[in-house]
Amino acid sequence: MKSVSELKVKIFGDGADLAGILELHRLPYIKGFTTNPTLMRKAGVADYEEFAAEVLKHIKHLPISFEVFADDEETMEAQAKHIAGWAKNVYVKIPVTNTKREPMYRLIRRLSHEGIHVNVTAMMTLEQVREVGKALRGGAPSNASVFAGRVADTGRDPVPMMKEALEILRDTPEAELIWASPRELLNIFQADEIGCHIITVTNDILAKLKLVGKDLSDFSLDTVQIFHNDAAKAGYSLDVAAAARGAKSSKS
């Protein structure tokens, strides 16, 4: 099994907790960051620009993505240009469609060819990957985020899809494929095995990296000890003697 240092896939921290971001920033294997409005809301971020400005005081050289939140093309474009102006290492997340299912391919192409680093987000079909690849071709360095974890949530295996997405993007060297929304640590190794460029990972999944390569027999024992200790801490008890007396009485 590969160690973290041997992985070729780039690991990006995914979240909106400032303390968590700074903690990950100290780790040598973290190569970038992403966030989104949902993660910000969950983390209690009240002021979008204030939060971004604070993050960018610390994250100055690694790529970091911030997302537009408008729902029409014109306002998305204005927000994208505003966000892109925050720092040179900023990538602007553009959803592949708006809430009306209207594709944003024209906007993606326009922004990318104007030199803005775009991260196209929320993709879940290969057709979307094809159209986004065309839009990004010849533009600025960009990211294409396929939400493999959400694909897996539907009962579909995302690995074949991600392999095909890589093939599609071979004609668009400007775009790096992101394995987005992973559900377990194994996804990092799956992404690495197929040659995916980037995987975004939350702090809770990254915390499991200490388990990589752990002896499974030892892990089994650790699990048994956890169950035993928790039962003791809870004060659970069973009146085995009474049960035995009851069983004996019923037989007689």
For the chain, what are the domain ranges? 4-211, 216-251
The reported pTM is 0.92
Catalytic residue among 2, 8, 42, 93: 93
Would the pLDDT of 244 be above 80? no
| Architecture field, domain 4-211 | Alpha-Beta Barrel (3.20)
CA distance 10 to 212: 17
Is the predicted pLDDT of residue 247 greater than 80, yes or no?
A: no
Q: What is the pLDDT of residue 252?
A: 61
- Per-residue pLDDT tens digits for 1-47: 788 889 999 999 999 999 999 999 999 999 999 999 999 999 999 99
Average pLDDT of the residues in 212-241: 95
pLDDT on residue 251: 67
Residue type, 185: L
Is 81 catalytic? The answer is: no
Q: Provide CB contacts within 8 A for 161, sequence distance 6+.
A: 126, 146, 148, 151
